[in-house]
């Protein structure tokens, strides 16, 4: 199957200014995203994982220009979204939708479900007004709600149902790409499974592409085709799902995977417990950003930034940003 | 199995909250035992009553909460019958607690040393200087680097993981016999979670305390607990040792929960969710509370509430499900989430 490029992110940077001092000048920057590049193909699910502050949500927001990116390009079907006017961007929002983590905060409490969905369709001019009601009822059924619930207010729904409303809203404008920013993180597992299954069914039915942002590697393994691992504003590893979970290369990815508690009391645990905390993104470490916590770090890691690369032991488009992939795999690196 | 010394026995606990919309029975029949030196997990989804259970044990309920029945036997003494003064002696001294959000449970205007020191001063009746000295020792114990410096810092100067370590230091300052940990790692990133869980385990081994681990994360349960109570809608539905729970889950809810869980360590075809949602606390089903979502519920299940009973299997397992009783009125073979089961009549 020929893969068709849908979204291409190149050298994306997002610096947030820190104001301070007597005159309230910009004294420094939070380097939330510091030059990341990746491609999303049509019909696939790409996940971005990482811990708090790694820049995964910022990536989603920068792609949609909810925050104007500092540098870099976001090419969606041939158009660089960072170069167009806000008016033109609005047209593209029809194709690029987002579902947020907190269904309580992302839905207007004073709007009924019908008026919420109607508004989205009205703004994007999706259907003539007289056909919208039928479409709203159809959408509610699609996401597992009942048509008669269309005239209810958000507080009359549970958390899982509200997330379904968020999905219905995203779907109402026939998008091509949906960015799911921690979309199932606030839900209990029994409900989370329902929503994950729904997202998969919708993908099959409408040929949707997902950019799935999550900190939960269980969810990510379940839903993704490819996975991007981020640490402190940089991509440290990118691979298809199987390679990433079965053959992780970057020391951070390995530590991250080993840190997750396994729901099996007999599981063999080779836990790599990382020392310390994630450094501040205001003043990220020089060289490899992970060197302050990496058990293998050398002087080279402290000065020279590693780039994403692949080795003969890595299959497909698997890439990792580490100077010592081969040495670590061969076991010749000394662990501190 | 040997008869172990149970440091805490909770029997048929019932807690009700008065609200404008009527009374809510947040905890309605919770029973479990905590063996000395062991960790018991209380696992359940939002609203299952797991946190209220721990607050009831320590008698920290909000003013509209009331305990309607049951007993909490701590070394044979019923905590629910103690006068408030005696209860205060136990709280923080013999049973202490850590919470999910270390930022909101630490006082932002006092230094770390003052806060840990206060606990030590009150319970150990020592002077201020001595208390600060002991605080530094505690910070060292929980693995905080340069404790002499940290003891003078305020909570906002610490990271999330550090704050949780401070909470643990405070909770352990008086060598409690039981530590109640209410979602202690939920707000933390996994690499930090791994550090904190390791720390709790290590301290438990060194100090010989029992831990009640309240969590929604089945991974955390599998990794840290010896025994597990699964809660659903205010009740314990299954209690067993951790191995049996994961290898041979009995209650349909436990099985459903395990089936819904996306795993990072194995490849799964499709998740099998539990249909529907948790009943509203104002309209609890009259029969089994899981019956409306249970794939094998019968007439009996819908009409009569099952009790938490011992199963025939030895390992001190308890189940709240009609399938495991003589009264079961359904088929002798059922299919539960794709798994065939034969029911012993």
Per-residue tens of pLDDT for chain B, all 345 residues = 345 689 999 999 999 999 888 889 999 989 999 999 999 999 998 889 999 999 999 999 999 999 999 999 999 999 999 999 999 999 988 999 998 877 788 999 999 999 999 989 988 889 999 999 999 999 998 988 889 999 999 999 988 888 999 999 999 988 899 999 999 998 888 988 998 999 999 999 999 999 999 999 999 999 999 999 999 999 999 999 999 999 999 999 999 999 999 999 988 888 999 998 888 888 899 999 999 999 999 999 999 999 999 886 655 789 999 998 889 988 888 888 888 888 765
Q: Which residue among A197, A218, A261 sits closest to B220, beta carbon to beta carbon?
A: A261
Q: What is the pLDDT of residues B308-339, one digit of tens each?
A: 998 866 557 899 999 988 899 888 888 888 88
Q: Which residues of A touch B273 (CB under 8 A)?
A: 190-191, 193-194, 197
Complex-level ipTM beyond the 0.90 threshold = no
- The bridge status of strand A79-80 relative to strand A96-99 is unpaired
Q: Count of CB contacts below 8 A, A vs B?
A: 130
The closest of A160, A142, A162, A135 to A208, measured between CA atoms, is A142
For chain A, the structural domain boundaries read: 1-95+175-224, 110-172, 252-262+269-336
- The bridge status of strand A71-76 relative to strand A79-80 is antiparallel
Beta carbons within 10 angstroms of residue A149's beta carbon: 17
Q: Which residues of A touch B223 (CB under 8 A)?
A: 261-262, 265, 269
Preferred mutation among A54, A104, A149, A189 to probe B, highest tally of B CBs within 10 A: A189
How many Å lie between the alpha carbon of A195 and the closest alpha carbon of chain B? 9
Preferred mutation among A160, A163, A261 to probe B, highest tally of B CBs within 10 A: A261
Q: What is the DSSP letter of A264?
A: -
In angstroms, rounded to a whole number, what is the distance separating the alpha carbons of residues A166 and A113? 10
Closest B-chain CA to A257:
B264
Q: Give how far Cα A137 sits from Cα of A51, A114, A151, B16, B58, Å.
A: 38, 8, 10, 40, 49
Closest A-chain CA to B226:
A265
- The bridge status of strand B39-43 relative to strand B210-215 is parallel
How many Å lie between the alpha carbon of B218 and the closest alpha carbon of chain A? 5
Q: Which residues of B touch A102 (CB under 8 A)?
A: none
Instruction: Report the b/e string of B226-261 with b at 16+ CB within 10 A.
Output: bbbbbbbbbbbbbbbbbebbbeebbbbbbbbbbbbb
Q: Which residue among A258, A264, A271 sits closest to B222, beta carbon to beta carbon?
A: A264
Q: Which residues of B touch A277 (CB under 8 A)?
A: 159, 161-162, 192
Residue whose pair of structure tokens reads 């393994």 in the numeric block: A221
Q: For the domain bounded by A1-95+175-224, which CATH number is listed? A: 3.40.50.300
The closest of A28, A32, A10, A11 to A19, measured between CA atoms, is A28
Average pLDDT, chain A: 92
How many Å lie between the alpha carbon of B226 and the closest alpha carbon of chain A? 9
Q: Which residue among B194, B259, B271 sits closest to A196, beta carbon to beta carbon?
A: B271
Q: Where in A153-208 does DSSP place strands (E)?
A: 177-181
**How much is the pTM?**
0.90
Beta carbons within 10 angstroms of residue A41's beta carbon: 17
Q: What is the pLDDT of residues A109-135, one digit of tens each?
A: 899 999 999 999 999 988 999 999 999
Q: Which residues of B touch A158 (CB under 8 A)?
A: 277
Beta carbons within 10 angstroms of residue A265's beta carbon: 19
Q: B271–A193: do the CB atoms touch at under 8 Å?
A: yes
Beta carbons within 10 angstroms of residue A167's beta carbon: 25
**Residue A190 in contact with partner chain B when CB distance is under 8 A:** yes
In angstroms, rounded to a whole number, what is the distance separating the alpha carbons of residues A184 and A192? 6
Q: At what angle do helices B190-207 and B160-172 cross, to 10 degrees?
A: 20
């Amino acid at each position: 199957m020929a893969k068709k490029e849908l979204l291409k992110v190149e050298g994306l940077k997002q610096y947030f200014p820190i104001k301070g001092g007597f005159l309230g000048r910009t004294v420094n920057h939070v380097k939330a995203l510091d030059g990341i590049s990746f491609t999303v193909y049509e019909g696939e699910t790409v996940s971005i994982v990482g811990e708090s502050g790694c820049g995964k949500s910022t990536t989603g927001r920068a792609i949609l220009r909810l925050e104007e990116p500092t540098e870099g390009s976001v090419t969606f079907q041939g158009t660089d979204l960072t170069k167009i006017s806000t008016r033109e961007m609005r047209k593209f929002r029809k194709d690029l939708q987002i579902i947020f983590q907190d269904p309580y905060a992302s839905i207007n409490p004073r709007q009924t479900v019908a008026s919420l969905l109607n508004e989205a369709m009205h703004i994007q001019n999706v259907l003539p007004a007289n056909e919208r009601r039928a479409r709203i009822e159809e959408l509610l059924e699609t996401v597992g709600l009942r048509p008669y619930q269309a005239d209810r207010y958000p507080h009359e729904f549970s958390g899982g149902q509200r997330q379904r409303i968020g999905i219905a809203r995203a779907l109402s404008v026939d998008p091509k790409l949906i960015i799911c920013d921690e979309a199932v993180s606030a839900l209990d597992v029994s409900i989370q499974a329902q929503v994950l299954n729904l997202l998969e069914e919708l993908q099959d039915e409408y040929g949707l592409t997902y950019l799935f942002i999550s900190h939960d590697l269980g969810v990510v393994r379940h839903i993704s085709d490819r996975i991007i691992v981020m640490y402190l504003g940089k991509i440290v590893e990118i691979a298809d799902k199987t390679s990433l979970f079965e053959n992780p290369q970057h020391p951070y990815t390995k530590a991250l995977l080993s840190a997750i508690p396994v729901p099996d009391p007999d599981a063999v645990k080779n836990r790599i417990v990382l020392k310390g905390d994630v450094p501040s993104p205001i003043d990220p470490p020089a060289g490899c950003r992970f060197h302050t916590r990496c058990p293998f770090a050398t002087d080279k890691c402290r000065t020279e930034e590693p780039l994403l690369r692949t080795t003969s032991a890595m299959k497909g488009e698997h890439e990792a940003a580490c100077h010592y992939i081969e040495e670590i795999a061969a076991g010749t690196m000394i662990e501190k | 199995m040997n008869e172990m010394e149970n440091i805490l026995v909770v029997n048929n606990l019932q807690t009700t909250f008065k609200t404008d919309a009527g009374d809510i029975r947040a905890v309605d029949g919770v029973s479990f035992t905590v063996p000395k030196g062991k960790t018991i997990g209380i696992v359940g989804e939002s609203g299952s009553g797991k946190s209220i259970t721990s607050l009831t044990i320590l008698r920290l309920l909000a003013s509209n909460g009331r305990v309607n029945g049951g007993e909490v036997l701590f070394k044979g003494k019923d905590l629910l019958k103690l006068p408030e003064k005696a209860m205060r002696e136990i709280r923080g001294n013999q049973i202490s607690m850590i919470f999910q959000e270390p930022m909101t449970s630490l006082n932002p205007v006092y230094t770390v040393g003052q806060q840990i020191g206060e606990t030590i001063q009150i319970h150990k009746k020592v002077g201020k200087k001595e208390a600060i000295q002991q605080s530094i020792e505690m910070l060292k114990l929980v693995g905080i680097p340069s404790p002499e410096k940290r003891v003078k810092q305020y909570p906002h100067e610490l990271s999330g993981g550090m704050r949780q370590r401070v909470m643990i230091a405070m909770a352990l300052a008086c060598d409690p016999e039981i530590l109640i940990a209410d979602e202690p790692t939920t707000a933390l990133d996994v690499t930090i979670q791994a550090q904190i869980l390791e720390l709790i385990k290590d301290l438990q081994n060194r100090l010989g305390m029992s831990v009640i681990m309240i969590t929604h994360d089945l991974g955390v349960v599998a990794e840290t607990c010896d025994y597990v109570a699964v809660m659903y809608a205010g009740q314990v539905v299954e209690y067993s040792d951790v191995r049996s729970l994961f290898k041979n889950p009995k209650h349909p809810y436990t099985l459903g929960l395990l089936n819904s869980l996306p795993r990072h360590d194995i490849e799964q075809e499709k998740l099998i969710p539990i249909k529907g949602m948790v009943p509203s606390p104002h309209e609890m089903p009259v029969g089994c509370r899981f019956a409306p979502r249970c794939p094998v519920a019968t007439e009996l299940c819908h009409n009569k509430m099952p009790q938490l009973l011992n199963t025939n299997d030895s390992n001190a397992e308890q189940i709240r499900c009609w399938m495991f009783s003589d009264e079961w009125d359904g088929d002798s073979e059922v299919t539960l989430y794709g798994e065939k089961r034969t029911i012993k009549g």
